[in-house]
Structure 1
């Protein structure tokens, strides 16, 4: 049994903790409030992870430090991430813990092909550049031998506990109630959806394999489904009919962005939902045997009918 420290107790942090506890490890969850994740056996610690001295104290002796943080606002990443990421890098160097980071596809920027780990990070908008710079810094320190680092990227989240943090999941309560849902973008474009369960499994797995370090991996993800298809699939698993799906007008997003930084960034990143957004995660399957949770089970988890994937 080894010690593992997870920063963040959102859906990815919870699933990472669940995977690690199932593997017999000691797991510490670090949040500002010290709230305990809904996973038996996890030790909650209240701390500001942006404080490298405190985070180093907590992480001392750990095999791995996991970045599962998720800033509550989309529009202020340039304020939140630099001190938090600097603290994690310094802690990884001071303790020798493997830095295992959960990330998104934003660093790639808009692409016209299926996304794989071989794509270069070419994002030009703010949040994508921030994510790309974070990995570039970790990779440089890894290549210099100062830390050990690995990153797992995922597409839009599906599964249990995601709620308003996902383009698909935020519409599920209204859809289950039979109400029309509103979608930001084109609901008929092919799109990849990654279950947070599979992100957690991927993070826990790569942390245990030194051969995985020093590179990016894409979390196990099912073949793409459009937002309309995915919503219909979730409703079908719950025994409910499909509901009307309406597009949020671009003019509304632009107007909201004039007064709200989150909406302003949503508008900048809207390409994600207006064009095909598809990944090929076969590399992690080939390397570690990690296949995505079956799509039907993902839909049941997204509908709130199941919280743990079937074996």
Structure 2
């Protein structure tokens, strides 16, 4: 049966989700501010997603509304996310569409053990609290019967189209020319990497499973690899030699944070790069019978698509 879906955001996750839904024969609309052509066979809509009245017109009759947005200015999340999150909630309530949210691991805060679904959101930094509060509000409205929602959380992105927004992918162009890479924190701490294609597969899967709604699900992700290992293996997928991977000293990062707003935001989350940062996705894999894309394929797609 053909369904209608609306996706807010045309980044790598939004694009992958749109392609999955299109390829199975569903009708898909992607909402962006510009409305410029995004994907063959997918309707592009120019709308301000913070305007719930406008968004509701697009989502009227849709089975699900996918939040794949990611405000581009990392330093302005505190002002940009709340009106967008509220508009999505209001649209879901007005139209009855399931709200499927793409999120990250920020709400959990610093941790010393693999992150599992259901553990407390213990973040104290403002970005982590922001994402945790978004989940809490959406969950409260779901439990009150006002909306239906589900949230998917993944770790740092790799895969096609991530580019400058990824901690590994941003280094690929220069590293493929033999240039050294300077990474945040420690270069050899185990870290989980999530393929954007697997984020999309998980979103589509949980959106079609009412028994999954009202909960957080982790994106199936491969075994953790350090920043050095991940970059080296991505390069190897194209036959490139390893490059030097050096860590930016924490005192230097803190110094930059005093004068650079973006570095200030990154420094606040530096715990992710100075200790193991591992995502456990076993529950999703078992419940939904999903597996992460094989790492070798992830590396090839990461190299080819960035």
Q: TM-score, normalised by structure 1?
A: 0.96
Note if contact 1:181-1:244 (Cα within 8 Å) is conserved in structure 2.
Answer: yes
Q: Provide the C-alpha distance between the structure 2 equivalents of 1:275 and 1:144, rounded to a whole number of angstroms.
A: 38
Does the 8 A contact of 1:75 with 1:263 survive in 2? no
- Superposed CA deviations along residues 184-230 of structure 1, whole A, max 9, x for unmatched, are 11110001000000001111111111111000000010011111111
Q: Secondary structure at the match of 2:75?
A: coil
Q: Distance in 2 between matches of 1:171 and 1:140?
A: 40
Look up the match of 2:255: 255
How far apart are 1:266 and its partner, in Å?
A: 0.3
Partners of 2:262 and 2:208 in 1: how far apart? 36
- Report 1:173-252 matches (<5 A): 173-252=173-252
Worse-matched range after superposition: 127-136 or 165-174:
165-174
- 3-state SS of the aligned residue for 1:28? strand
Aligned-pair Cα RMSD in Å: 1.1
Q: Is the 8 A contact 1:172 1:303 kept in 2?
A: yes
* Stretch deviating more after TM superposition (197-206 or 242-251): 242-251
1:12 corresponds to:
13
Aligned position for 1:48: 48
Contact residue 74 and residue 261 of structure 1 kept, 8 A: no
1:99 positional shift: 0.3
Are positions 1:144 and 2:144 aligned together?
yes
- SS of the residue corresponding to residue 122 of structure 2 reads coil
5+ residue gaps, structure 2, are: none
Aligned equivalents of 1:195, 1:50: Cα separation in 2: 28
Matched residue count: 305
Q: C-alpha displacement at 1:259, in angstroms?
A: 3.1
Classify the secondary structure of the residue corresponding to 1:21: helix
Runs of 4+ residues over 4 Å off in structure 1: none
Per-residue deviation, 1:118: 2.3
- 1:254-311 CA distance string (max 9 Å, x none): 233223322111000011111100011111111111100000000001111x69xxxx
Give the corresponding residue for 1:61.
61
2:93 — aligned with what? 93
Unaligned runs of 5+ in 1: none
Contact 1:100-1:203 within 8 A present in 2 as well: yes
